[in-house]
Amino acid sequence: MDRAITDLNELTAEAERLSEDAFARRVALLEAAEDICEVLRHAGYGSRPALRRAQRLVGELEASNAAYCARLRQGLLRGSLTPAELRSELDRLTAYTPERRALHIEQEPADRLVDGIMRLERFRGSPTIEDRDFVHLEDSPVRVLLDLIDHVSLAASDCFFDLGSGLGRAALLVHWLSGVRARGVEVQPEYHAFADSLAGEFRLERVRFERADVRDADLSEGTVFYLFTPFKGRILDALWAKLQQEARSRAIRVCTYGAISLAAARLGWLHAADGDSPHEFSLAVWQAGPAAR
């Protein structure tokens, strides 16, 4: 308990912790303060005053970060926050740099910022459609999407598809940063409803979410497809066949992250854009269609 109280005293002594531009530091402090709370909860009756101090610190840090996210959210709602300004905010909160073959393993303050802007903590649903080939919901790290935007040339004519789009985080962020049309395909009704409500909340006319099994979805608008290991087995096999059929009529790019990249490498019709072998924790970009070789 003594060590926890000493650590608590050091955290509360940080004079700059509540300044507006200290978001990343507050994320680190929050993790430490929550650990201290956990220790003090089990340290007996004598730890109650220190526990209350730690809980107040957690509340202060959360309120400051929520206010920061709210300011950026209002900028996006009003259209006054530009893509370059949003990117600048994210760049301050990630260790990612645009060199190719970056590995994306851990969540970062940039992820907390995006979650806060979208207020993803409001979601309380759960999967209702069961299938052995579904993969549990997990959001793409923000740095993966920054990597995609840096290394996939997105033109005004492009349409970005997130296949297995979950709560809509990837499609919204790619649209905000690039301006391209974005589509999400999600079979789980509660995930789809939340993503659709986000697009409506931010009045994003160029972002749409379709509730559908990806095997039945209309992908004819798509030029860039993104998959963060959303499913496996027969569903994935059917999707590969569907994307291969799309590539017979036009050039497409397929971006993968996670174990799905290793599966993509075994497909003869997908060609690595950079010629390298994929890594499970690195964004892989593939080309297919006319002149893809």
- The tens digit of pLDDT for each residue in 208-242 reads 999 999 999 999 999 999 999 999 999 999 999 99
Residues 6+ apart with CB under 8 A from 113: 23, 68, 69, 72, 89, 90, 93, 142
- pLDDT surpassing 90 at residue 3: no
Strand 271-272, strand 284-288: pairing: antiparallel
Cα–Cα distances in angstroms (integers) from residue 187 to residues 10, 68, 73, 218, 254, in the given order = 48, 33, 27, 13, 20
Tokens 């033109």 locate to 155
CB 115 within 8 A of CB 218: no
- pLDDT surpassing 80 at residue 269: yes
- The whole-number pLDDT of residue 47 equals 81
CATH homologous superfamily for the domain 109-288? Vaccinia Virus protein VP39 (3.40.50.150)
In angstroms, the CA 184 to CA 212 distance is 10
Q: Is 78 helix (H, G, I), strand (E, B) or coil?
A: helix
pLDDT confidence band for 4 (50 / 70 / 90): confident
Domain coordinates in residue numbering, the chain: 2-81, 109-288
CB 46 within 8 A of CB 131: no
When pLDDT is averaged across residues 153-166 and rounded to a whole number, the result is 97
In angstroms, the CA 54 to CA 41 distance is 10
